[in-house]
Amino acid sequence: MADLKDKRIIITGAASGIGRATSMLAAAKGAMVVAVDLNREVEETVSTIEAAGGRAISVQADVSEEEAVEGFIKRCVNEFGGVDGIYANAGIGGGGKPFLELNVEDWQRTLGVNTIGVFLCIKHSVPHFVAQQSGSIVCTASVAGLRANAGGVDYSASKAGVISIVQTVAYQLYGSGVRINGICPGLIETGMTEPIFAQARSRGSEHRIGQINPTKRFGQPSEIAEMACFLLSDAASYVNGQAIPVDGGLSASHPWVFPRGERAEM
């Protein structure tokens, strides 16, 4: 079981979606949670955790600002006596434009949050982990970082960068007792993907969302939270340097023709 009893865990992007679901699940599994987000709604996440009997504190911070990242890691150490894991989950959807319309500012913002923000979380938590010879780092990447057609150019590149960071840092931490892994979500119903769902619902085609993966549906934040809590726990003690898709099987295939009828003919 992914037991997190008395683990001190930092989770970014905790105001909604995957970050909120993971914060709540981690607390339910016994963790003390530092819930971080730029939005004030992170306080609602903590209130929900406390109402259920868990321990958590909220921090409003921008993960692309180094001083802010240093600050919430120090807050965890000061409030809870240390840090055992960090889930660098905060992210944005990118410029949302055709690649020829993207500008430098779009790229800087997307990379600043999605890639540099992950790097900063790693940079400032690792000294604590190395000193105690233990710790788990989890990063949210995306299936868009694995293959094309799951996001815009800037978003996809930013998530490919996260995967590369995970793989490279795993070896930079050789023998330290510190693990680092990435999660590559598929299509998950969150605030970031709300436009996709809203458009489909307006057309009456909600039932078709996620149909191109073999599980034939979209995912929920709680399903990513389960993987995140596993990787943060000692149950994942031999999992290191991996970018793990949680996508209903989407990334298992090359492009294919959707079969007519309910099921493909065997």
Please identify every residue annotated as catalytic: 155
Q: Which long-range contacts (CB under 8 A, 24 or more apart) does 56-63 make?
A: 56/23, 56/27, 56/32, 57/33, 58/14, 59/34, 59/35, 60/36, 61/36, 61/37, 62/38, 63/12, 63/13, 63/36, 63/38, 63/88, 63/90, 63/113, 63/117, 63/118, 63/120, 63/121
